[in-house]
Amino acid sequence: MPTNYQKLTLKLEEISRLGGIMGILHWDQEVIMPSGAAESRAKQMGALAGIIHEKSTDPEIGSLLEKISQENSFNSFEECNINEARRQYELETKLPKNLVMELAELSSKGHQIWVKARSENRFSDFVPVLTQLIELKKRWAEYVFPKLKAYDANIDIYERGTTMSDITPVFETLKKELIPLIRDIQLSDYNPESSFLKGKFSVAKQEELGRRISEEMGFAFNCGRMDVSVHPFCGGSHPTDVRITTRYRNDNFIESLYAVIHETGHGLYEQGRMKEGRDLPASEALTMGIHESQSLFWERMIAQSLAFCNSYLPLIKETFPKNFRDVSAEQLYEAVNTSEASYIRVEADEVTYPMHVILRYEIEKGLFDDSIEINSLPELWNSKMKEYLGIEPPNDTLGVLQDTHWSGAAFGYFPSYTLGAIYASQFYQTLLADKPQLEKIIESGNLAIIREWLKQKIHKKGRLLSVPDLVKEVTGEGLNPTVFLKYLKQKYRKIYRLN
């Protein structure tokens, strides 16, 4: 007779496999699906989502969890699966069906309204649906996490265990230090030369280069793929089927290459998951913030370092001999680390990016505690942009309407980006303490050592630890913006000759 725990794992494995199938449908849709199939694919994904919901709310799971709660002597892996199952089951079953349906409908409608409002630069058209979405997500929060404040409940979906009381002081510290740094950079007379990054770059050669670097980072192509999509992402169906994408431009290869490196960082997290119980939640990636810490670790801490530029400039020269003939590693390093305030978050560099996030965080926080009026958002947005980055968007399309998140009711997501950046710098600092020869390692191109360290310390840990416990175990301390700030200040004061 199987135990209650074994019965539970069978159900969890089934749900996980159906989730993997959804991953393939999504990847296929973004990468390879014929355009005429949009409608049929939406229906297929709807059918599968319905089944996943059915399976996730199967009362049998509830009753198994009930029985299991009377049992004991589970090991930490089992314990984790039980807790994950309970969290997911409660999230799915605590909501009244009509709220689920209202949210689904309004998000879908909201997306269309947002697309139109953004293209027509009419924030007022977006106001009614945004108002409703916030109302719904407040009600939603009361059902799913009644003990949390409404905005904390929203954050918890992406960054469980982290609340405003953790984030606000960290973001205040960042503001205090970054606003002056950004202003200093803007006032600096020095601007890195980066004209050699422009030119003509064959897509085939870009792809070859990206594939080579991804492989040297440790991406296993026998358990993954690299393709092209409109927006780069990391998807797939399983740790043995991890699919990263990038996009190519003829006149710029750096964007594509760093997208490959970023997505490879995500991909290595998935491929590095523990070998046992891969269809169970305990083995899964921990949070959005930790996932982002992995992609940013590789993109920024490693690939934007001088050591990396030293290591890979010869290969880049070999790939694009004409463009890079007279370029030194220092020049490449400075060029890929140019910092400039810009309107659009997704185009921001590592110094200005946090300000985009903090701005959104403060607005979301205010919307959920009713201290901010929705109608005032464009004005508020622009004044915060002015204050934080010294620039003011000429219209709402380049301002408050730029991101898709709100139209899909994804409030509380933005902080993960910057939490990820902070964790990445903390992990790097720890790795450096572990391996003082780290720069030499990077210069020698022996990236496998780095990947293995991340795998042992983070990827293999799955969800066995909470984020604070994991960060503590790896770095010896909790979320700490100091390391991040020190890294940014040292690096950019030097690049911009600010001393």
The catalytic site residues sit at 263
| Least distance between its own copies and beta carbon 50 (Å) | 8
| Least distance between its own copies and beta carbon 468 (Å) | 31
The conformation of residue 94, written as its DSSP 8-state character, comes to S
Nearer to its own copies, 277 or 481 (CB): 277
List, in sequence order, the alpha helices (H) in 57-122.
59-68, 76-93, 97-120
| Least distance between its own copies and beta carbon 32 (Å) | 7
Indicate the burial class of 243 (C-beta count within 10 angstroms; 0-12, 13-18, 19 or more).
Answer: buried
| Least distance between its own copies and beta carbon 373 (Å) | 43
| Least distance between its own copies and beta carbon 108 (Å) | 18
Nearer to its own copies, 32 or 346 (CB): 32
Sheet containing 224-228, strands listed edge to edge, beginning at the edge strand earlier in sequence: 224-228, 241-246, 234-238
Contacts with its own copies by CB under 8 A lie at: 13-14, 17-18, 20-21, 24-25, 28, 32-37, 39-41, 43-44, 46-48, 50-51, 220-225, 237-241, 278-279
Structure token pair of residue 312? 């890979």
| Cβ density class 13-50: b for 16+ within 10 Å, e for less | eebbebbbbbbebbbebbbeeeeeeeeebeeeeeeeee
The conformation of residue 297, written as its DSSP 8-state character, comes to I
| Least distance between its own copies and beta carbon 295 (Å) | 20
Distance of CA 242 to the CA centre of its chain: 16
Q: How many CB atoms lie within 10 A of CB 223?
A: 15
Nearer to its own copies, 34 or 146 (CB): 34
Phi, psi of 148 (to 5 degrees): -95, 155
Residue whose tokens read 């002056």: 180
Nearer to its own copies, 219 or 333 (CB): 219
- Three-state SS sequence of 256-295: HHHHHHHHHHHHHHHHCCCCCCCCCHHHCCCCHHHHHHHH
Nearer to its own copies, 46 or 314 (CB): 46
Nearer to its own copies, 89 or 219 (CB): 219
Q: How many CB atoms lie within 10 A of CB 228?
A: 15
Tell me whether strands 241-246 and 234-238 are parallel, antiparallel or unpaired.
antiparallel
Residue count (the chain): 499
